[in-house]
Amino acid sequence: MKKLVSVVSNVRTNQLLSTSIALMFAACASASAQTATSVTVEPAFDSPAPVALSSAELAAANAPALVTSAATATNHLYVATTGSDSNPGTQAKPLKTIARADALSRAGYTIHVAPGVYNVAAPSSGSAGIKTVKSGTASARIRFVSDVKWGAKIVFSGIGMAWDSKGAYVDIDGFDISGSGRLGILAEGGKENITNNYIHDLKVTGGCNGSGGAGIDTWGPVGGANIDSNIVRNVGAQWVAAKSCNTVQGIYVTNQNNRVANNVISGVAAVGINSWHGATGSTMVNNTIFGNKMGIVIGHGDGGATSAGTSNNYVANNIVYGNAYGITEMGTVGTNNRYPNNLVFNTGRAWLVKGAVSGTVAADPQFVRYAANGTGDYRLKSTSPAINKGTATSAPKTDIAGVARPRGGAVDIGAYEF
């Protein structure tokens, strides 16, 4: 499998990867639409080098926090388009860049980003418009927050990525990300919360090839990301209509024990939610996925994969609608993959799996206003067959709008609770 993107420090290159899934479509096309099966794909792959920070990056990460007593006392830093990186990062004297706030932060800090357009450049493969390296702890996370949801708009250009998050126990919440590079958010530190973001209209640059692309991508040995309540729309937008590019994903899970919940994903050139490499033990629940080439792929192969394959994945309560393929297993697939209570409808190949399938709803979900381009209203009508048809096991406590689950006799299927 070819390189997705090269994650570059000042003097070292760490190669990141994307799936090349052209072979799977041929395999899926030959399978019966009514017969569940498993498809094996084993493309070539370049193994990644370990992540290495340059001496300059290490110095920045360990530099003393030169903030005023007010900022230090409250563990808050502020960023604004009108700020300056020579400022202390107080609310009255904000910083200019998120990267500078990261350099001044410590575990337990919250970085507030004010509304405005933040133009960032990622000119080379693997470069990042924003690169953050500090780590929090399980009890003192580092939080990057758009103070107005989607008010802080990150617009990136080039062939790299918008945001490379190398730190563990980090939250990225409420940002609007768009642009022309290959990746929206790369979560490679482990234990991240990627929540409430709007990642859209990524015109993946450099052509449809093994360099791939994704709205949100996990990477690294730790895993354990929580990807919740994001809207991911039009990724690889130039190929969406023809669904002609197989290497561009909406949410791309490449390691273990991730949770993907309450997301609305549409208009992706290849797969709405795709797992590959060493992906295993993940939970994918209550997502709404439509208008992509494929809905959900549980796959395992290439760098990071094991001979046991991907096992213990739990895929439940998802609406998978209007995709050419529904829910599919491929690569080296292991045991205990479960698929309860999903709504799969209006798709060419609904199921291609060996794992345990139960409680499937095969009917129109009846959105309030469906639009294939992602501009509709994807809440449920009162007559929707998805209402009260979900399972409570591993279901999120609230929906994408913050409504408590269940609201009625049982959990509903999809990102919105009626």
Instruction: Read off the pLDDT of residues 42-78 as tens digits, 9 standing for 90 and up.
Output: 332 232 333 344 444 434 444 434 444 455 558 999 9
Residue 168's alpha-carbon distances to 50, 172, 184, 224, 338, in angstroms, are 16, 12, 18, 10, 29
Q: What is the CA radius of gyration of the chain?
A: 21
Look up residue 271 and give its two tokens: 């797969």
Q: What pLDDT shows up at residue 416?
A: 98
Quick check: bond before 406 cis, omega within 30?
yes
How many angstroms separate the CA atoms of 386 and 393, rounded? 16
Phi first, then psi, for residue 92 (nearest 5°) are -75, -30
Residue 241 pLDDT grade (very low, low, confident, very high; cuts 50, 70, 90)? low
pTM: 0.85
Q: How confident is the model at residue 243 (pLDDT cuts 50, 70, 90)?
A: low
Which sequence spans correspond to the domains of the chain? 3-63+203-380
**Nearest Cα to 400, choosing from 195, 193, 209?**
195
pLDDT-derived band at 301 (thresholds 50, 70, 90) equals: confident
From the centroid of its chain, how far is CA 356? 25
Q: Give the sign of the dihedral formed by CA 337, CA 4, CA 54, CA 141.
A: negative
Amino acid symbol at 193: N
Task: Give the CA-trace dihedral at 298, 300, 302, 308, to 10 degrees.
Answer: 180
3-class DSSP state for residue 28?
Answer: helix
Owner of token pair 């090349």 = 20
Q: What is the pLDDT of residues 265-300, one digit of tens each?
A: 999 999 999 999 989 999 999 999 999 999 999 999
pLDDT in tens, 329-386: 999 999 999 999 999 999 988 899 999 999 999 999 999 999 998 999 999 999 999 9
